[in-house]
Structure 1
């Protein structure tokens, strides 16, 4: 593993433990055992690091989801929803970083994504969207808003995950 990859991996650990919102570059480099000068040898700025961290997190996230090769697009989306809700409960700081960080939020408004997770969700939603009056983008917003909102309720211990409810809701979207 090269130095840049090592810094990305260690940054993921720091964000998981402390969150990203109040993480200054000075504190981050100190936690990583670097000077700010050494940091700038590998990254243009903190946003550059955050973008690379988000790409790595997205790749790790998708590769960790136990998707079955023969599963339908609907079954895969249900597996992802289940995995995501559990992930948010266990790694809320990383989930906040990956899905609500201003650096990563820019990606949601672009057509070409560097994030494996976003690409996987978009691909599944394209396969599931049979509605002529709803674009894939609108359908993505509907489904992903539900999944993220439901995960936030679980994270805040307002509800417990109910796989049946998620499936019923997805079925309503698919009508």
Structure 2
């Protein structure tokens, strides 16, 4: 593991737990055991380190979901793969500070435009992916033709992120489980053909 990877491995969970403003240079040097100079030899500034930390957190928490969904055939199988993944999501990210997309999206909106844009882009990618799954479901006669794919994609993402927010707020995974059950048993059932 090179020095940059070592720093990211130590610091990414701290950024996710404490936020961009809440993470100080002292936190970073304490976590890594490295000097300020060693940190900034590997990253141009705190914003660069935060952005790369966010990308690492995404690679650990959300990229596996995208890869899993890409292996599934059919709209319904893809949607159920998403809800099944989310059921284990709390355990996956609870020790790393929660959902990185949610954390960064809320934490950086008014203070770090670059990092906020990265979270916003990820959210848009998620929404587009869900929209495309639903459009394919309509084309392949799995989903009712009068379904608005964009609307339902936004509802599904809202239930995922809302369940995640409340699960971490209350330290109670049932918020995620109940939201995923609702997507499976009510939402998907209401639009399936």
CA distance in 2, matches of 1:37, 1:75: 49
- Equivalence for 2:156: 143
Query: Given the alignment of the two structures, is residue 58 of structure 1 paired with residue 75 of structure 2, yes or no?
Result: no
**Aligned 1:98-137 pairs, distance under 5 A:** 98-101=101-104, 102=108, 104-109=115-120, 113=121, 119=125, 122-129=128-135, 134=148, 136=150
What's the offset of the Cα at 1:167? 0.6
What's the offset of the Cα at 1:26? 1.6
- Equivalence for 2:141: none
Q: Is the 8 A contact 1:73 1:128 kept in 2?
A: yes
CA distance in 2, matches of 1:133, 1:81: 19
**Aligned 1:1-175 pairs, distance under 5 A:** 1-15=1-15, 19-21=17-19, 22-65=22-65, 67=68, 69-92=71-94, 93-101=96-104, 102=108, 104-109=115-120, 113=121, 119=125, 122-129=128-135, 134=148, 136=150, 138-155=151-168, 156=170, 157=172, 159=174, 161-162=177-178, 163-171=180-188, 174=191
SS of the residue corresponding to residue 58 of structure 2 reads helix
Unaligned 5+ runs, structure 2: 139-144
TM-score normalised according to structure 1 size: 0.71
Deviations 1:98-156 (CA, angstroms, capped at 9, x unpaired) = 422125432354xxx4x5x86466323322145779574x5443221111112333342
SS of the residue corresponding to residue 44 of structure 2 reads coil
Deviations 1:61-107 (CA, angstroms, capped at 9, x unpaired) = 34544837344233223322332343235523443444221254323
CA distance in 1, matches of 2:92, 2:72: 28
- Structure with the bigger RCO (C-alpha within 8 Å, sep 6+) is 1
RMSD: 3.4
